[in-house]
Amino acid sequence: MDRSNLTYVPAAARRADEPFEIVERKGHGHPDTLADALGEHLSSVYCAYTREHFGAVLHHQFDKTGILGGRVQVAFGGGQMLAPVRILLSGRASGSFADEPIPVREMLTDATRAFFTRRFPMLDAARDLRLLYEVSRGDSPGGIGAKDTARNVRSRWFAPQSLDDLPERKKLACNDTSSGCAFSPPTPTEQLVLDIEEVLAGQQRPAWLGSDIKVMAHRHGSRVNLTCAVPQIAAHVPDLDAYITNREAVGAALEQHAAEHYPGLQVRIWLNTRDDDQRPELYLTHTGSSIETGDEGLVGRGNRYGGLIAAGRPFTMEGISGKNPVYHTGKVYCVGADLIARSIHDQLGHGAEVLLVGQSGRELTDPWAAVVRVEPGTDGSPAPDVESVAPLVDKALGILPGTIDDILTGTYRMH
């Protein structure tokens, strides 16, 4: 990239050494995380179809996907849905190629039902899900004139007649003026928050454990206060005693993990702080997720790229899940920032934060601006000079166009 567009910031301190951190994660079953995951899944399914049938990823975006919660009746030993979970499928997609129709509606609705059936086998996809299909064929700004004008490729953005109507195959340019960011490595507090779901579920997830696990941590010095909301699935919880036993097992597992893996932190854990065992008012669910009780989820309202909401880190408001993985600036630049930050950490041994800014129409591999903040070493050594960092930036940007397969297979953590 143009060196004049690179801003290099050698940091005075590591994030892990700063006096205060706030870190949050919405678990896999949280409505916002589910919306992100569904948007990515729909993009992946659509990309697979168009690559197989036409040899390229056609223009699409499913980043406005939403989940609107249902109603439930739940008690120890079981529950039932009283009103369906509503799924808003929204966005745009090419509906044809060379006048050959693409079965977008069937493809996306089938993929959505399969998505929820895998995650929530207690739901009846026909009865407990109601799909609200609002995906349009779409148009693109800037397509002036008749749709059949040979020179007006932009007007055929969502209805290409040939691969020549995909301008990104000739020049891979930013589709938007937007930004993406990432960091590496996580601080101990961030890693602890990321660990929670794996510690509780692991390879042998208890049948009673729900997926809508939410974690919030705040660190003052070496003291970490951790609040976790951990749902239980009613069909596998016969009574209050079983619920309390399960909750205590969660606390014990987290305390043991923190003591073994984070000896430098003093971790205090709160669990299900709204529980009232006397009433009882408990985090007891039918599905393991608050999608069953009217909670809503929308793409972009949950975890940032990398799986966390880390308040002290660089931040982009981009809802990246479901966006086109070939050229959408905010999405692809999160991956690019990740590649740069990881290479600085892996090759130079220093933590890094990277923010990339793209300008609509500009070459994707040549950001309008790049800000790279590099931390001191764990041994107190100063951050390396810009001459050591700049080649790693260039190398990462150079391989960015080749990341599409890894994006589609989930190598990069979008949510």
Domain span at residue 251 reads 188-290
Let me know: does 191 contact 173? Beta carbons within 8 Å: no
CATH number of the domain to which 381 belongs = 3.30.300.280
pLDDT, one tens digit for every residue, the chain (415 residues) = 788 899 999 999 999 999 999 999 999 999 999 999 999 999 999 999 999 999 999 999 999 999 999 999 999 999 999 999 999 999 999 999 999 999 999 999 999 999 999 999 999 999 999 999 999 987 666 555 555 555 556 678 899 999 999 999 999 999 999 999 999 999 999 999 999 999 998 878 999 999 999 999 999 999 999 999 999 999 999 999 999 999 999 999 999 999 999 999 999 999 999 999 999 999 999 999 999 998 999 999 999 999 999 999 998 989 999 999 999 999 999 999 999 999 999 999 999 999 999 999 999 999 999 999 999 999 999 999 999 999 999 999 999 999 999 999 999 999 9
For residues 283, 286, 292, 293, the Cα torsion angle rounded to the nearest 10 degrees is -40
What span, in angstroms and rounded, lies between the C-alpha atoms of 134 and 65?
10
Please state the three-class secondary structure of 20-76 as a single string.
EEEEEEECCCCHHHHHHHHHHHHHHHHHHHHHHHHCCCCCEECCCCEEECCEEEEEC
Considering the domain architecture, whether residues 315 and 286 belong to the same structural domain is answered as no
User: How many whole angstroms separate alpha carbon 326 and alpha carbon 297?
Assistant: 25
Is residue 306 domain-shared with residue 182, that is, in the same domain? yes
Q: Are residues 130 and 66 in the same domain?
A: yes
Same domain, 323 and 238: no
Of 246, 264, 290, which one is at a domain's C-terminal end? 290
Q: Are residues 100 and 61 in the same domain?
A: yes
Q: Is 336 found in the same domain as 284?
A: no
Tell whether 218 and 363 lie within a shared domain.
no
Are residue 181 and residue 329 in the same domain, yes or no?
yes
CATH number, domain with residue 259: 3.30.300.340
Please state, as a whole number, how many other Cβ atoms lie within 10 Å of the Cβ of residue 63: 27
Overall domain count for the chain: 3
My answer on whether 201 and 228 are in the same domain is yes
Among 382, 352, 262, 311, residue whose Cα is nearest residue 20: 311
> 145 in a domain, yes or no?
no
Please report whether residue 106 resides in a domain.
yes
User: Residue 289 has what DSSP assignment?
Assistant: S
90, 10: one domain:
no
Whether 274 maps to a domain, the answer reads yes
CATH number for the domain spanning 91: value is: 3.30.300.10
Flag whether 75 is in a domain: yes
Examine residue 78 and state whether it is found in any structural domain, yes or no. yes
Same domain for 36 and 132: yes
Tokens 């790229």 belong to which residue? 305
- Burial string for 14-40 (b: 16+ CB within 10 Å, else e) reads bbbeeeebebbbbbbbbbbbbbbbbbb
Residues 33 and 302 sit within 8 Å (Cβ to Cβ): yes
With respect to residue 162, please indicate whether it lies within any of the assigned structural domains: no
- Is 95 a domain residue? yes
Predicted TM-score of the model (pTM): 0.94
Which of the 8 DSSP states describes residue 16? Answer: G
Residues 312 and 236 in one domain: no
Length of the chain: 415
Burial of 361 (0-12, 13-18, 19+ CB in 10 A): exposed
In a domain, 24, yes or no: no
Structure token pair of residue 190: 């961030």
Distance, CA of 89 to CA of 64 (rounded, Å) = 7
